[in-house]
Amino acid sequence: MSSSTRFRPDRAAVRSGVVAAAVCAVQSIFVATAWATPLLLVAILPPTDRTVSLVVDVGAFARPRSVTVTVAGAPQRAVVTPVMSDRLAVGLVVDASADGGRALPGWLSAAARFVLDAPTNTRTAIVADTSPPLRISALRFGAADTVQALNTVRAGGERHTAEALALVVNQLPTRVDGPRVVVLYTTAADAGTAAEDLAGRLRRAHAMLVVVTTANTAYWSQVTQDTGGFVAPASSRSVVPALDQVGTVLRARYLISIPTPGKLPAQVSVRVDTGPTTLTGATVVPASAGGRRSQSLFAVLMSRSGLLLPVTLAAGVLAVAFSVLVIRRRRQTR
Q: Parallel, antiparallel, or unpaired: how do β-strands 230-233 and 208-213 relate?
A: parallel
- Give the pLDDT band (50/70/90) at residue 41: confident
Query: Which pLDDT value is given to residue 241?
Result: 86
pLDDT, averaged across the chain = 80
Selected residue with higher pLDDT from 20 and 116 = 116
| CA within 13 Å, CB half, 136 | 27
Looking at the predicted structure, is the pLDDT value of residue 28 above 50?
no
- Amino acid in the structure at residue 24: C
What digits encode the pLDDT tens for the residues 151-167?
Answer: 999 999 999 999 999 99
Q: Please, which residues have CB within 8 angstroms of residue 138's CB and are 6 or more apart in sequence?
A: 125, 171
Query: Which pLDDT value is given to residue 239?
Result: 82
Query: Which pLDDT value is given to residue 332?
Result: 55
Query: Which pLDDT value is given to residue 330?
Result: 54
Query: Which pLDDT value is given to residue 331?
Result: 54
Query: Which pLDDT value is given to residue 328?
Result: 56
Selected residue with higher pLDDT from 126 and 51 = 126
Residue range 166-176: mean pLDDT, rounded: 95
What digits encode the pLDDT tens for the residues 268-293?
Answer: 999 999 888 888 878 888 876 543 33
DSSP state, residue 6: -
- Give the pLDDT band (50/70/90) at residue 5: very low
Q: Parallel, antiparallel, or unpaired: how do β-strands 278-285 and 208-213 relate?
A: unpaired
Phi-psi region of 219 (alpha: psi -120 to 50; beta: other; left: phi over 0): alpha
Whether residue 269 contacts residue 70, with contact meaning beta carbons closer than 8 Å, is answered with: yes
What digits encode the pLDDT tens for the residues 67-103?
Answer: 999 998 999 999 999 999 999 999 999 999 999 999 9
DSSP E strand stretches across 96-239: 123-129, 134-140, 180-186, 208-213, 230-233
Query: Which pLDDT value is given to residue 59?
Result: 84
Among the ranges given (8-17, 52-61, 325-334), the one the predictor scored with the smallest mean pLDDT: 8-17
Please state, in angstroms and rounded to a whole number, the distance separating the CA atoms of residues 198 and 29: 42
Please state, in angstroms and rounded to a whole number, the distance separating the CA atoms of residues 35 and 59: 12
Query: Which pLDDT value is given to residue 235?
Result: 82
Query: Which pLDDT value is given to residue 45?
Result: 85
Selected residue with higher pLDDT from 169 and 37 = 169
DSSP state, residue 59: -
Whether residue 195 contacts residue 212, with contact meaning beta carbons closer than 8 Å, is answered with: no
Q: What is the CA radius of gyration of the chain?
A: 26
Q: How far is CA 234 from the centre of its chain?
A: 18
Selected residue with higher pLDDT from 99 and 236 = 99
What digits encode the pLDDT tens for the residues 176-227?
Answer: 889 999 999 999 999 999 999 999 999 999 999 999 999 978 999 999 999 9
